[in-house]
Structure 1
Amino acid sequence: MFRLLLTSTFAFAATVYAYTSEQSYQFNSVAVTGGGYITGFIAHPSEENLMYVRSDIGSSYRWNQTLNKWIPLTDFVSEEDSNLLGTESFALDPNDTRRLYLAQGRYLTSNNSAFFVSQDKGESFDVYPAPFPMGANELGRNNGERLAVNPFKGNEIWMGTRTEGLWKSEDYAATWSNVTSFPNAFANTIGISFVIFDPRKNGTIYAGATAPEGLYYSTDGGRSWDAVPGQPTSWMGAFNVTDPTTSPASSAPQPMKAVLSSAGILYITYGDFPGPYGVSYGSVKSFNTSSQIWTDITPNVNNSYPPPFTPQTFPNGGYCGISVAADDPDTLVLTSLDRDPGPALDSLYLSRDGGKSWTDITQLSTPNVNASMGYWGHSIDEAKLNNGTGVPWLNFDWSQGWGGYGAPSPIYGLTKFGWWMSALLISPWDSQKVMYGTGATIWASDNLLSAAENWQSPEWHIQAQGIEETFCLTMTSPNGGAHLLSGFGDINGMRHEDLDTPQPMFDLPVFSNLNSIDWAGQNPEYIVRVGQNQLNNTDGVCHLGAISENGGVNWTTFGNCIPTLNQTFTDAGTVVVDASAKVLVWSSGSNPLQGSNPILNTSGPYYSTDGGYNWSSPTGLDVQTPNITADRVQAGTFYSFSDSSWYVSTDGGASYNATGGTVIGLPQYAGALPVVDVEKAGHVYLPLAENGIYATEDFGLSWKRVSRDDVNPRLFTVGKAAPGSTSPTMFIWGTVKEGGAVGLYRSEDDGSSWKRVNDEAHQYGGPTIIQGDPRVYGRVYVGTGGRGILYADIMHGGSESSVVAGTGGI
């Protein structure tokens, strides 16, 4: 069901004030700088520096030249509408710099997609439900743009859909009708991936579908359509087969992206699979829309320099990203797609003659290219913003790969040039400036053309500041050392010694997903973490877990994994460490228990007293529950609330005493993660959703509800006590009265009263996790599923009862 109404207008300025009572809060991003897949750029041809970027799960951003950063545009998206926090496509009106259109929707399976329409460059939006699903995080998200504005009729917006064919709106994207004249709906979940208007010819439109012979055109405003004549109908002669055992996944090249030059040349990239992964073959064509002459301009051994890597004469992979200069129709840039993992990686090509010849910019940019063995890359010294701020996590520490895209460069000193390089832009205001997106960040150069003319490396820098699109899987805030330790999807995790500048990625072992992290209550420098890693675990060590004894700077890999877990698992479960740093407990269960059906295993959470070399099964608890927590004060003490029973171990996880919850004052409830007071032994909280918050001061012998009847915590954490208080500050994500707004709330009186921390403009699609800081009163960290991590601080000296967007981070 759509919450947003067709007739409603939602206006959210950069600074929004809403009464939260007594305290003002500021939200800032914990700076990672990127951390996810950049899927597209658009720039307005008539206003310098007006450009936007889209991502698959983190929505869209606008560049702010004054602040030198990207500004998030859709932080007002609610938890209920979290599917709208992904941009399928976007478009600008070439005749109106103020108008911006976003097609929002992450997954085809969700019955919630919408058009966000702005008349003030994304400062505010009208939100209109869409009559078809979208898939910003589905296959084919690298292609496009699906959305286009008719340059001759600003009210007319067109959209190529994944499952419902071609659609048109004549009222600025408010309502839509199906273009039934289009010959095929291409309802293959990828569908029509781009729509392009010819700005020189009123009524001429091109549309490309992800299918063989999928290029169509209309010259009468879409009333009739024909297949573009002469387009490739087979792979014959389109590539040099480098792997005779692998055949193309499609019978003929499939259009992926296209751009139309000022001279009327349509440049099209092709692949055999939608991407962004799985593309094995591809080609690049130009089509003269006047003469209808096709030309194969695919880079090859005869027309590109430096020459392709040998012995792999020309690597498998397709082509995707393409952009043409506004001031020269023969100047274009191009990216290959899916050569990673090599041995030769993806390349960025430049042509100054319409594709007759190409310069491989990637090889020019690689230091000591002959020694790189095809693993093209930037020097890690270049992984900095244009102001010199480093982005050190991009080096991935040159560790062993975990498999798949984005794995570390094996060449010391290099960070990969990129992967999934589908977003590509030559600045329409200065053709020297080029940006490309990767699966992790944005790289930019201000002198690409002049450097290439002299066969020199362009100067490169990172231009992703302000973009925070990580998916937070876990985080914790110790009472010593760095204030925040994080675990992310895809990019391992970080020790955030400085919240406002990018930090190094955790050292070896590198996890593609870091699932759980914990610290010892009386020794906060002792950190333990577990995560997904596709390295083999048969070499005498366990690559799924590690220990640090210096606050997360250096790590020692576990000697062994617990039974049932190996490199094939996508989730390494939950790990905790006791207060003394002498006992580890590791459970393979990480999904919330459902009703009376917990994750079954022949053992309860395994424990180790020798730093992860030997693991033993406990008695008294026989399920691999994710609901396991260590007391921060008393050594050897662990808690679990699973399957309506309360479990306590005081002998280092070797045995648990179990008591039915209803016997000790708890309601009948499936299970929840215990949350402990970091300063008091035996003080534990249980957030039980609609049942409220329960607390114990005697290790769980007795419980009482400390929140009033209408408090419903979906997420719960505690932080430093307010001045003069002896109880920790509570934070929930949920509601505090029946029918009340879902949001972030704070209580400083043991749950009796609550004050809202965020407002409707700061919802971020709802958090995946929240974490209080035990050392900073009022601070709470908010981990999201695509907008990174935010930290909210009380604004001392600010106007009362307001929530403001932060200027922190970079």
Structure 2
Amino acid sequence: MRRKLSAIGSIVVALSLIFTTLLPVTSMAVTTQPYTWGNVKIEGGGGYIPGIVFSPIEKNLAYARTDMGGAYRSTDGGNTWTQLLNWVTYENYGLAGVDSIVADPVDSNRLYLQCGMYSNSWGTNGAVLRSTDKGKTFEVFDLPFKAGGNMPGRNMGERLAVDPNKNSILFMGTREGEGLWKSTDYGATWSKVTSFPNPGTYIQDPNDTNDYLNHNPGVVWVTFDKRSGTPGNATQTIYAGVADLNESIYRSTDGGATWVAVPGQPSGMLPQHGKLSSTGMLYVPYNNTQGPYDGDKGDVWKLNTATGVWTMISPIPSTDTANCYFGYSGLAIDAQDPNTIMVSSLSSWWPDGYIWRSKDAGATWSPIWRLDGYPTRVNRYTIDYSAAPWLDFGELKQEPETSPKIGAMIGSLEIDPFNSNRFMFGNGAGILSCENADKWDEGKMVLKVGSIGIEETSVLSLVSPPVGPHLVSGLGDIAGFIHTDLNEAQPWTFKQPNLSSNSCVDYAENNPQFWVRCGDVDKQWNPNTNRTGFSYSRGENWFQGNSEPSGMPMTGGGGTIAANADGTAVVYSPAVSYVPVCYTTDNGNTWTPVQGGVPNGSKVRSDRVNPNKFYAFGNGDFYYSNDKGKTFTKSAAAGLPKNYNTGNFKAVFGREGDIWLAPGGSQAEGIYGLWHSTDGGVSFTKLSNVDRSEMVGFGMAAPGETYPAIYIQGIVNGVRGFYRSDDAGASWVKINDNANQFGNADADITGDRRVYGRVYIGTNGFGIKMGEPAGSIPEYMLGDLNGDNSVNTIDYALMKMYLIGSIEEFPSENGIEAADLNVDGVINSLDFAIFKQYLLGLISELPYSP
């Protein structure tokens, strides 16, 4: 369990236990230290949930899949969730993209996942993950083709299906023309169903130069008709949905040996899901694209499997072009009452997404909200989003919009098979759930945050300042947060400018009231929003730069931004190939291109001591500036990688000119490692004990040490992991284990400036991971040198005695740590001066960095 720091005023700091016994892995010559891992709480999900499934045989057991952040299990009906794929490695990060998930309908301990993030040129072959303990552990069975958990069409499904009569049999739909596959040994081996006639023909944009929309979603769902078999014998009737605009639904009546297109089926759209009620009705929602982002036309159909009659039951039919501007996707059938069904819109972005419920098998529908004369809106629900207050996205919407929203991209909608009053659905930000669906008709339903424990954010930037909050983050899609409490979700803070993604956050080291950030914006929808923000209140309040560098695009921007040590100059490098790196000395009122040949899109940082110095790294060359970013000089340092996947580097706080470069690398070039400079980037030394590194950060020094703790993600002595060095890189300790690897975690890493041993890791889909040395963690109060839980003149006198040599230690066990009032690793006259100012009331908070 992750502890919560106690609060005594604003000057309590926790010191993690220092392990004196380190556990060597002699076969790999890597020293390890046990760590406890968890997440900095963001809650609400923070990313797309394309699939939710309930176990049909065990009450309250549910699973959710994400497109890039693993899969989750809930044992309390969706109230809380547990990540199942923290073990996914950096090299095999694609397994964190889950294209399908299925709970075994016979044995509730069995769970199957189809994994693989991309089916295009970016991806590698996928795998089937099989668990016999509800996802606590998995066996991995490699596939000879790719899956696409983060590809278009991931909202469709489920592609995996277990025979409800003979659960050793599974069928699996695949992408890219690979067709339908079958296993007869619980998913261990697979063979292609060669008789299946249609592997899918739909390609949304064959000419997409981004290599994204030019791919075939393939066979998108499989559904068994349990009534056509008996326990222990294979089910005979099976349905499969295919991405094809002409014939998209196929049926087998001989256990999958032969297949034919179902007669009379609709055409011209794609079947998103296919679910069969206990009364033999096959329900299919359609969208005119694969989704999940688009589609402007759709219908809902049902097939009476006994008579072969198809009936259109759309809440708003596609022929009503004035009102049907979206497609359908989410579909739920009440197991307790098969005539009660629910469907959702997929691509209704404005004013909101829709959900409808029918109690008569689709003959009539009731919407979850409606207009009562534009723009007045009547909702059948309220949303309790107190568990994730950021879900309003920092905006107060005017009707017919609301804040928060039902949301778009609703590809999964489920009714609890054991509780008809409970339903949940996934959208682009997480899961919303309801426990009182019986109040639908009264309009008194309560929707709540249904993704507690799901941390799917893509982390772009992490900063641990010397004062104020322990952590500040920049995130993809949901902006980022001032984490005043690491164990509680925070409200939306980054307003003015309200950027959807903040790619970089920084502050002035010697003036930590001053903060800057940059990120993405879509000027088509937000023409008055600029991509840089400034704060003189530690990020509590912001204002945007009044201008932008010349040539900025309509969308995107991103990049990196750096504030110099005293906050008088800022350098901004947009992630745009044709926009130069620029500097400003007037908080973005004007931007001037830097001189010196710094490549566009370079990473930029500031020196943490000298306000005249900035640094940049781009195209394999390092640059430094001594005039507040106006001009840069190209370093003569050689041997740095020119082809790299991260390009990360940082300057060390408290040490002028001290820089660490962890750029990653490329297989083609083969140059990897970790580099260190102590002369402001004029020269670099490559560390011999680090094989590879993708990111680097710094935190509070170990007790008795003066150099900050260094944290990296990389390979040391041939072993991939997260590492800490307490001796300026001379030796490294591996701080994670096989159960905690977090996939593609290479965006950012930082130690805590005020808690030794604590590290924050920015992942791509697993949220912000926080690790601390395992074991008890003593707490102490800065300034309390005698251990009486107060800070007063007695402590002041003790510090004076220590500095003049009258005493060699303090009465408090943690007195040495408590005396370091500016947490720079040294106790000296500066700490004594800070102590005096604190007692006089001239400063109100410790630690203090003047």
Shorter-chain TM-score tier: 0.7 to 0.9
Cα offset for 1:434? 0.8
Consecutive unaligned residues of structure 2, counting only runs of 5 or more, are 1-22, 203-215, 230-235, 665-670, 778-850
For 2:420 and 2:477, the matched residues in 1 are separated by: 33
SS at match of 1:98: coil
| Aligned partner of 1:314 among 323, 336, 351 | 323
Query: In structure 2, what is the equivalent of residue 724 of structure 1?
Result: 704
For 2:692 and 2:773, the matched residues in 1 are separated by: 23
For 2:643 and 2:276, the matched residues in 1 are separated by: 58
Report matched runs for 1:332-731 at 5 Å: 332-342=341-351, 345-363=352-370, 372-373=375-376, 382-384=384-386, 390-398=387-395, 414-448=403-437, 450-453=438-441, 455-505=442-492, 506-535=494-523, 543-568=530-555, 570-589=556-575, 603=580, 605-642=581-618, 645-662=621-638, 672-687=647-662, 692-701=673-682, 703-705=684-686, 707-731=687-711
2:240 is aligned with 1:210 = no
| Aligned partner of 1:25 among 25, 35, 47 | 35
For 1:164 and 1:81, the matched residues in 2 are separated by: 22
CA contact (8 A) 1:520 1:526 kept: yes
CA contact (8 A) 1:164 1:187 kept: no
Over 3 Å counting, the alpha-carbon distance change for 1:542 and 1:652 in structure 2 is farther
Over 3 Å counting, the alpha-carbon distance change for 1:286 and 1:619 in structure 2 is closer
Over 3 Å counting, the alpha-carbon distance change for 1:267 and 1:657 in structure 2 is closer
For 1:409 and 1:697, the matched residues in 2 are separated by: 55
2:83 is aligned with 1:72 = yes
For 1:375 and 1:522, the matched residues in 2 are separated by: 52
For 1:361 and 1:648, the matched residues in 2 are separated by: 58
Over 3 Å counting, the alpha-carbon distance change for 1:608 and 1:194 in structure 2 is same
CA contact (8 A) 1:338 1:419 kept: yes
2:220 is aligned with 1:193 = yes
| Aligned partner of 2:158 among 127, 145, 159 | 145
For 2:607 and 2:183, the matched residues in 1 are separated by: 59
For 1:783 and 1:213, the matched residues in 2 are separated by: 44
For 2:724 and 2:457, the matched residues in 1 are separated by: 25
1:93-144, Cα deviation, whole Å (9 max, x unpaired): 2111111000001110223200000111111111000122211111111111
CA contact (8 A) 2:660 2:674 kept: yes
**TM-score normalized by structure 1?**
0.84
Over 3 Å counting, the alpha-carbon distance change for 1:376 and 1:288 in structure 2 is same
Q: Which amino acid aligns with 2:727?
A: D
Query: In structure 2, what is the equivalent of residue 241 of structure 1?
Result: none
Query: In structure 1, what is the equivalent of residue 749 of structure 2?
Result: 770
For 1:226 and 1:674, the matched residues in 2 are separated by: 58
Over 3 Å counting, the alpha-carbon distance change for 1:500 and 1:542 in structure 2 is same
Q: Which amino acid aligns with 1:678?
A: F
Q: Which has the larger Rg? A: 2
Q: Which amino acid aligns with 1:756?
A: K
For 2:49 and 2:620, the matched residues in 1 are separated by: 44
CA contact (8 A) 1:362 1:417 kept: no
SS at match of 1:334: strand
| Aligned partner of 2:258 among 224, 232, 239 | 224
Cα offset for 1:646? 4.4
For 1:66 and 1:297, the matched residues in 2 are separated by: 30
Report matched runs for 1:8-87 at 5 Å: 23-33=33-43, 34-65=45-76, 68-87=79-98
CA contact (8 A) 1:58 1:86 kept: yes
Cα offset for 1:176? 1.1
SS at match of 1:764: coil
2:290 is aligned with 1:274 = yes
Over 3 Å counting, the alpha-carbon distance change for 1:271 and 1:659 in structure 2 is closer
1:648-692, Cα deviation, whole Å (9 max, x unpaired): 322211123444115xxx768679544212122222223366564
Q: Which amino acid aligns with 2:302?
A: S
For 2:641 and 2:65, the matched residues in 1 are separated by: 45
Query: In structure 2, what is the equivalent of residue 90 of structure 1?
Result: 101
1:407-433, Cα deviation, whole Å (9 max, x unpaired): x77768621111111111110001011
**Is the deviation greater in 459-468 or in 499-508?**
499-508
Query: In structure 2, what is the equivalent of residue 105 of structure 1?
Result: 116
For 2:280 and 2:643, the matched residues in 1 are separated by: 64
CA contact (8 A) 1:301 1:313 kept: no
For 1:67 and 1:280, the matched residues in 2 are separated by: 31
Give me the CA root mean square deviation.
2.8
1:33-91, Cα deviation, whole Å (9 max, x unpaired): 20111111111122111110111111210003299520111111111111111111111
Consecutive unaligned residues of structure 1, counting only runs of 5 or more, are 1-16, 234-251, 385-389, 400-407, 591-598, 799-810
Cα offset for 1:257? 0.8
Over 3 Å counting, the alpha-carbon distance change for 1:410 and 1:700 in structure 2 is farther
For 2:227 and 2:382, the matched residues in 1 are separated by: 43
Q: Which amino acid aligns with 1:441?
A: G
SS at match of 1:97: coil
Q: Which amino acid aligns with 1:289?
A: T
1:727-764, Cα deviation, whole Å (9 max, x unpaired): 01111111111xx2211011111111111011111111
For 1:264 and 1:504, the matched residues in 2 are separated by: 47
Query: In structure 2, what is the equivalent of residue 402 of structure 1?
Result: none
Q: Which amino acid aligns with 1:392?
A: P
**TM-score normalized by structure 2?**
0.80
For 1:765 and 1:514, the matched residues in 2 are separated by: 21
CA contact (8 A) 2:32 2:734 kept: no
CA contact (8 A) 2:59 2:77 kept: no
Query: In structure 2, what is the equivalent of residue 596 of structure 1?
Result: none
For 1:317 and 1:576, the matched residues in 2 are separated by: 43
SS at match of 1:207: strand
For 2:196 and 2:152, the matched residues in 1 are separated by: 23
SS at match of 2:445: coil
For 1:338 and 1:547, the matched residues in 2 are separated by: 35
CA contact (8 A) 1:518 1:529 kept: yes
Q: Which amino acid aligns with 1:487?
A: G
For 1:587 and 1:497, the matched residues in 2 are separated by: 28
Report matched runs for 1:237-248 at 5 Å: none
Query: In structure 1, what is the equivalent of residue 783 of structure 2?
Result: none
**Is the deviation greater in 626-635 or in 152-161?**
626-635
